[in-house]
Homo-oligomer: A and B are copies of this chain.
Amino acid sequence: MTADHQKFMAAAIALSFEAMRTGRGGPYGAVVVKAGEIIGRGMNEVTSINDPTAHAELTAIRQACEHLNQWNLAGCELYTSCEPCPMCMGAIYWARLDRIYYGNTKEVAGQFGFNSQYFYDELAKPRDQRQLSMHPLMSTEAQAAFEEWAQQADRQSY
């Protein structure tokens, strides 16, 4: 562990305490770092701003993208006080972050009642075996949008 690793993880953990002590949300914090500088900060604010997507990692990613004015965070790293849930992991992959550092494991989080393992288990199942009810509908009409997309010469893939 280098001094930088320690500094940035300490910043993420400090945000986790701040979220809890200020009543913003659960004890979770995260920072996005680029070239030795924090460019995005987030803490859990789900219950205070009524946004179920306001997890520390998602908020830190959005703030870093706003800072850089780009959706791609290649070259950046995320420090988070806890191993991310599938929603945040998805955002981390979409943002193309280089790597992540985490404090608590999801197993430790589970001991305190934060059960992201349930989400991992659900997503690993075939869609018709999940507890969430999922129904296909109007596939032909929906596919027409993809077909038009494939014909666009200037489409911006990512």
Binding site for B on A (CB under 8 A): 1, 5-6, 9-10, 13, 16-17, 20, 25-27, 46-47, 50-53, 58, 61-62, 65-66, 68-73, 79, 81-83, 85-105, 108-109, 111-114, 119-120, 122-124, 127, 132-139, 141-150, 152, 155-158
Contacts and interface: CB of A to CB of B under 8 A. Distances in A.
B123 A124 contact: yes
A90 to B, nearest CB: 3
B138 A122 contact: no
A101 B137 contact: yes
B62 A94 contact: no
B141 A10 contact: yes
A104 B139 CA distance: 5
Contact of A119 (B90, B96, B134, B136): B90
Contacts of A147: 112
Nearest to A116: B90
